[in-house]
Structures are given as C-alpha cells and as structure tokens.
Chain A
Amino acid sequence: MASEGGVVNSAPQSDSHEFDATKTRTQGQLVMRRFLRHRLAMVSLGVFVFLILFAFIGPFIWTFDYEDVSSKSYQPMSGTHPLGTTQVGKDMLALLMRGTGYSLQIALIVAALATAIGVTFGALAGYLRGFVDTALMRLVDLLLIIPQIAVAAIVVKGFSGSWYVVALVLAAFAWMSIARITRGETLALAQREFIEAARACGASTPRIIFKHLVPNMIGSITVNATLAIAAAVLTEAALSFLGLGVQPPDTSLGVIVLENYGQFMNRPWLFWGPFIVLVSLSLAVNFIGDGLRDAFDPRQTKVRA
C-alpha cells in the first residue's frame, strides 16, 4: 500500500477517505483503480472508444455510403462533405469510417491471435523445456529471418487480398515477441512452490498452464497484447500503402492514404484526414498500453518514467 502514497495526495478528498477505511480489494480491483487514475490512459481510452464508435456506428448515421460514387470528383471541404470527396467522387468521411473499421478489425484479430499463439507456445516452451523448448525457439529463429513484408506480399498476391488473409499473415509474424516474453516469465514461475504443489496434486499440463501460470502473467500478457494492436495497425497500413495488403475495392486506412497522397499539396485534407485518424489510433493504443503497464506494475513507474 505504501506505493500508493503519491497517488492518494492528488486524489479527491472523498477518495482518500475511502482509501483509509480498511476494505479488502482484489488484485484486479487494485489494478483497475490505478488504471482509471492514469489520466493519459483514460483520455486515450476515450479516443479509442470514439474511433470504434466512429468506425462501426458511424456508417449507420452518416448520409453517404463509402461505395457511393454519385458525388462530384474532388469536392473541397463543405457542409455536405466535411472532408471532401476523392477522385472517383466517394465521400472521404464515409471512406474513413469504413477504412478505420477494417484497420481496427484486422488489428484486433491480429492481436488476439498473436497473443493466443504466443502465450500458448511461450508457456509450453518455458514449462516443458527440453526438446519442446528448443523446437519452438528454433521456429521463432526461422520466422525472424524471413522478412514479414515479403511473405505478406506474396501470400496476399497468391491467395487473396481479403482482410482476413492480411490479418492471418500479420498474426503469423506477430506472435514471436509475446512468445519470448511469456517463455521468460514461465521459466521463472515454474520454479515456484505453487506450481510444484499443483503438479503434486496431479494437475495436467494444460491445467497448470492456463489455470496457474497464465493468471500470474496476465499483466505482461495484457500490456503486450495492447502493444500488438498498435503494431498491427501500423503494419497493416504500411502493407496496404505498398499495395500489398488490403486490395481495392475494399479499403483500409493504408489504402486511403495510398490513393490520396498524390493530392498532398493541392487538396491537403485528403491526406491529413486519414493521417490524423491513423496517428490518433496508434497513439491512443500505445498510451493505453503504457497506462496498463503502470497499473499492473507500479514499481516500474518509480524507477523508469
């Protein structure tokens, strides 16, 4: 509790009263409290939620459809088209909603898959050690020497540019860092008594991994999953920008930038619109990740930040 001292001072009066009263709080509640008090993280969470609503609820409210080409080409910013129209006469705001939606969808799926694969492989390698460990780590070495950008490009070209193919390829290259972190933590945790006790009670390997090891690593797993979302947003955008990711007529933030960056000087809004959405998305997710890290491990803030 001593580590909370600094935070209490800045908190409102009613809060510190609540704090003085002895009240049992679970680990989860403590983490939640610390996260909710992280101002930057809360603002970022607000931005993130806003972007989700913008992408998935926005299209129902907004008058134009992203496929609607009935408007005139290259309209400037106006009341009807707040961000203008593109060369073929699509409304930029509607396009942005659709693009943000796709980018978010891909990023969330990549992060979920990468975390699931990375945690399973990392925990297996760290817990079983020996042959399994060597084999899995060699697989990681192997994937690290093949440039992701090339493989993604070849797969997208050869199979299809659907968003889920892009997501699968990105996930196939995103799990390695999470696997390494999980493996390291598992190696340390597996030596502790409670794991020995679980094994003595006859718990199976999956049970030990998912019921005993994973809950003890939930902090770093959550933080790295969040950072994986940010990384996936940027990687997907970069791939699509090269024309090797999501393929038109589908759209994503990278595709929108690719199609409009030639207008940078003449119609800057066509570039800055998607740019601002992209940057605020990745900044917000990164800040949420930082806030989560501070919430799960308050000691780290004291030394580093």
Chain B
Amino acid sequence: MIRYIIRRLLISIPILLIGSFACYVLVATAGNPLAEMRFRPGVTEADLKAAEAALGLDKPVFIRYWDWLGNFLSGDWGQSIALGQAKTAVFPAVTDALWTTGRLVIGAELLALTLGVSVGVLAAVRQYSIFDYLATSTAFLMFSMPIFCVAVIVKNYGIQFNNVLESMGLDRWLTTAGPRPGGFTGSFGEVIFKYTGTFLLPTVALMLISFAAYSRFERASMLEILHSDFVRTARAKGISQSRVIFRHAFRNALIPVSTLFSLNFGAVLSGAIITETVFGWAGMGTLLVNSVRQFDPPMLMGWLAVTATLIVLFNLIADVVYGILDPRIRLG
C-alpha cells in the first residue's frame, strides 16, 4: 500500500509539472498585465519598459516559468500585480480563500453524502414505490438544474425567513455576505447563532446540487448489489431483511459512492465557485473571478497550482479508499 502511494505520488509529479507549464503558457499568452498601463496619461515608453523589466516580462516564457516554479516550490508565491490594487501576497490570499471555500464545501458535501446515500438506499430497497419515483424524479430534476439558479432561488426565498423572524420579534438570522474575517465574537450562543446564520443558506444550495448525483449513484449501485447472487444466498439462509440490507448490501454499495465523493472534487469546486458568487463569499470563486477580470498572472498561477494539486491528491485518496474498502482490489 505504502509503495503504491509513493509510486502514485511520483507519477503525479510530471503530470503536475506539465500541467503547470501548460497553465503558465496559457496565462502568459492570454493577456498582458500591463496593457491597461499603456493608456494611462503620463506613462512613457521608458516607464513601460521599466515596469516590464521589474516584472520580468521581457524574458522568454521558459525562463519565466522556471523562475516561477523555483519560487513557488520554495514558498515564495509572488505578489499580485493587478494595477490599482494594494500589492497583496499570493500565498495568504489563496490560502484564505481556500479556507473559506473549504469550510463551506466540507459541511455541505458531508450532508449531501449522508442524505444522498440514505435516499438512494431507501429508493433501491423500495424499488418502484412512490418514494422511489419521487426520489428518482427529484434527483433527475436537480441533475438537470443549472447550479446558479438553485443558488439564486435558495438565497431569495431563504432570506425571506428573516422577515418572518423579525415579525416574531427576533433578530435577523440569515446572512449572505460570508463569514467575517477574524471570526465571530460574542457569547457562545451568539457565535453559534451567527455561524449557522452565515452557513445555512449556501450549505443548503450546495447540498441540493451534490445530493442528486449521490442519490442516483447510490440507488444504482444498491440495486445492482441487491440483485447479485450473494445477497440472494444470504436471503436463502434465512437472514433477516434488515441484516441483509445493512450488513450485506449496504456496505458493498457504499464502495463506488465513496470514490465518487473524492473524484467529484472538480465538479464540487465549480459548484462552490458559483454558490459563493451568488452568496457573495470571498472564497476561491471570487478570487478566480477577480483575478481574471483584473488579469493578475501570479494570483491565477497560485490558484491553478493549488487546485490542480488538490485534485491530484483527491484522486489518489479515491484510489486508496477503494483499495481499503474492496479487498478484491490489490493496489500494487
């Protein structure tokens, strides 16, 4: 197992290197961060040249990539070079955004997984029942829904709940601007109140989106297992229905879903980006959109490198988990 993990990590190094180089070339050819400077009054050709040299833009792209890579690996991720902005460092900006997004995503995904798996199992056990039809069609509908529309609907109807609370003489509970930097203050009860109020709506939106995929997948894999020979044998031996379902079928049906959970990372990320944008959170999504709008290559490269590494890691986790859960699969 350890040998497998080490080998997989070694294989992913060249992939990450080529991937980051491709991203670097793409970012370098997509635009000139100094383009806007040209149009500023009082900027001479010499100023432009000096700015270019200061940023290293006069060097060939290979050398720039090599410099970037060396700095990146030694922990110096560079500084934002967007014009008219404070020169923020890339590393804290990206990690802060990742932390914001991570807190939202982890909770929402765990909830979605729990709910999706339960609904999927129930739908499979009671196949062709009303519950099954309801669950299947809801999942199909959510699957075909544009993510941003779900988020917009949840946000607008959810925020109405505040008015209900106010009419009952309570404080406004739900907020949409994201967690405040520096955390929440006040007594323990107040912190819980603010925390849930901040997280509830985006979590629900993100959960609704992921839930559909999990329940569909779990239902399909549970049905497949329920029709398999060893389940029939277990039933023939006279084992009770609940024991067959939970001990024999459910455990095996969880295997493919657990890998979907980690493989889905890319999709979850784009879902989170959209949810964040709708709810006004300052996470990875906002960071990406702003860096693209202002065209900020160091920030974009930091963003891309972090997400690509995370995706590689999650794929590895998926494979390792699969190997642990299913002893028939020998990793090696």
Query: Residues of A at under 8 Å CB distance from B?
Result: 138, 141-142, 144-151, 153-155, 157-159, 230, 234, 237-238, 241-244, 254, 257, 261, 264-265, 271, 275, 278-279, 282-283, 286, 303-304
Q: Is the CB of B144 within 8 A of A282?
A: yes
By the criterion CB–CB under 8 Å, are B30 and A155 in contact? Answer: yes
List, in ascending order, chain A residues with CB within 8 A of B31's CB.
Answer: 157-158
8 Å CB contact of A304 from B19, B27, B141, B223:
B223
CB pair B304 A150 closer than 8 Å: yes
Is there a chain A Cβ closer than 8 Å to B134's Cβ? no
Instruction: Tell me how far the C-beta of A33 lies from the nearest C-beta in chain B, rounded to whole angstroms.
Output: 25
- Cα of A279 to Cα of B143 in the assembled complex, Å: 10
Instruction: Name B314's closest neighbour in chain A (CB-CB).
Output: A145
Do A145 and B300 form a contact, CB below 8 Å, given A150-B307, A153-B288, A238-B274? no
A-B contact count (CB 8 A): 122
- How far does the Cβ of B16 sit from chain A's closest Cβ, in whole Å? 7
Please give the distance in Å from A137's CB to the nearest CB on chain B.
11
Name the B residues within 8 Å of A237 (CB-CB): 146, 148
Main SS class of interface, A: helix
The prevalent SS among residues of B at the interface is helix
Contact B15 A141 (CB under 8 A): yes
Residue of A nearest to B26 (CB): A154
Cα separation A283 to B140 with both chains bound (whole Å): 8
B187 at the interface (CB under 8 A from A): no
Neighbouring B residues of A155 by C-beta, 8 Å: 26, 30
Interface residues on B, range: 35 or more
State how many angstroms separate the Cβ of A74 from the closest Cβ of chain B.
Answer: 18
> Do B144 and A230 touch (CB < 8 A)?
yes
In the complex, chain B residues whose CB is within 8 Å of the CB of A286:
140, 143-144
Interface string of B11-37 (1 = CB under 8 A from A): 000011011001100110111000000
Give the docked Cα–Cα distance between A234 and B146 (Å): 6
For residue A151, which residues in chain B have a CB less than 8 angstroms away from its CB?
23, 26
Q: Write out, one digit per residue, whether chain B residues 138-162 have a CB within 8 A of any chain A CB (1) or not (0).
A: 0011011111110011001000000
In contact, B30 and A282 (Cβ under 8 angstroms): no
Q: Kindly state the separation between the CA atoms of A144 and B266 in the bound complex, as whole angstroms.
A: 8
Chain A residues whose CB sits within 8 angstroms of the CB of B30 once the complex forms: 154-155, 157-159
Instruction: Report if B293 contacts A (CB, 8 A).
Output: yes
Tell me which residues across on chain B come within 8 A of A234, comparing CB atoms: 144, 146-147
B311 touches A304 (CB 8 A): no
- The residues of A that contact B149 with a CB separation of less than 8 Å are 257, 275, 278-279
Interface flag for B328 (CB, 8 Å): no
